[in-house]
Amino acid sequence: MIFNGDYVPPEVQIDWLTGMMRGSDVQQTAKTLREMAGLFHDADALRGMDESTVVYRVQWTEPVSQGTIGGLFWGSTIIEPGRVGDEYFMTHGHFHSLRDRGEYYGTIGGKGLLVLMDESRATRTDAMFPGSLHYIASGLAHRVVNTGDEPLLFWACWPSDAGHDYASIKADGFGARVLLRDGKPAVIHEQISAQL
Ligand code: M6P
Ligand code: ZN
């Protein structure tokens, strides 16, 4: 029986174009430069900035509890335009704790790059622009970089049992950074140290 009366999903409204969500179940967070220290490569540039600067905001709804098998979460992310030194503002980025869980991102406004990395650190990027839809296959870490001069807004849908694994990103970052080079964004891949 599908409708057994035990479960009533919370009511949530979304504004597609602004990314705003309303409803008793909506959660939100704002990530500042202070919380992102260590993720940007130019520590000196970071020290010269206001650490209360908001880099990105996330709103989301969890209609079932985290870890529930078969459920879905839904949310928006807005990344401000800006840079730390030559490195564009970005999300933290994460693997899913359960590696075999995928995700969808869909872009509404702004422009940027979706950085994808597998467990071997092989990294590639996809262009994000209004209307771009991104199926993030299971096993890939994902980070979004705002390379434009206006906020970058995208919606996301991910499994309720995916979880966020930030530890390896904190320790090793991604295999590529998106930096300002010659007046435009460039994807700079890390040097692979020679194997002995
Ligand atoms: C998307 C989803 C969320 C994620 C958010 C910010 O909305 O993937 O699960 O939390 O982006 O990304 P991060 O957690 O890597 O900072
Ligand atoms: Zn994810």
Q: What is the pLDDT of residue 1?
A: 47
In this prediction, residue 10 carries a pLDDT of: 83
Q: Which of 155, 77, 142 is nearest to 113 (CA)?
A: 142
Using CA atoms, how far apart are residues 123 and 177, in angstroms rounded to an integer?
Answer: 10
What's the 48 CA to ligand 2 centre distance in angstroms?
A: 31
3-state secondary structure the chain: CCCCCCCCCCCCEECCCCCCEECCCEEEEEEECCCCCCCCCCHHHHHCCCCCCEEEEEEEECCCCCCCCCCEEEEEEEECCCEECCEECECCCEEECCCCCCEEEEEEECCEEEEEECCCCCEEEEEECCCCEEEECCCCEEEEEECCCCCEEEEEEEECCCCEECHHHHHHCCCEEEEEECCEEEEEECCCCCCC
- pTM check: above 0.75: yes
Domain, as residue range, for 123: 21-189
Judge whether 194 lies within some domain: no
pLDDT tens by residue, the chain, 196 residues: 456 667 788 899 999 999 999 999 999 999 999 999 999 999 999 999 999 999 999 999 999 999 999 999 999 999 999 999 999 999 999 999 999 999 999 999 999 999 999 999 999 999 999 999 999 999 999 999 999 999 999 999 999 999 999 999 999 999 999 999 999 999 999 986 655 5
The atom of ligand 1 lying closest to the CA of 75 is 7
CB-ligand 1 contact for 121 (6 Å cutoff): no
34 part of a folded domain: yes
The verdict on residue 195 lying in a domain is no
Atom of ligand 1 at shortest distance to CA of 94?
15
Answer whether residue 48 is part of any domain: yes
185 lines ligand 1 (CB under 6 A): no
The CATH number of the domain where 156 resides is what? 2.60.120.10
- Looking at the structure of the chain, the number of domains it has is 1
Does residue 107 form part of some domain? Answer: yes
d(CA 50, CA 34): 9
126 within a domain of the structure (yes/no): yes
64 C-alpha vs ligand 1 centroid, how far in Å?
18
Domain membership flag for residue 147: yes
Is residue 9 a part of any domain in this protein? Answer: no
Task: Determine which residue's CA is closest to atom 2 belonging to ligand 1.
Answer: 156
Query: Hey, whose CA ends up nearest to atom 8 of ligand 1?
Result: 156
Place of tokens 């990395």: 117
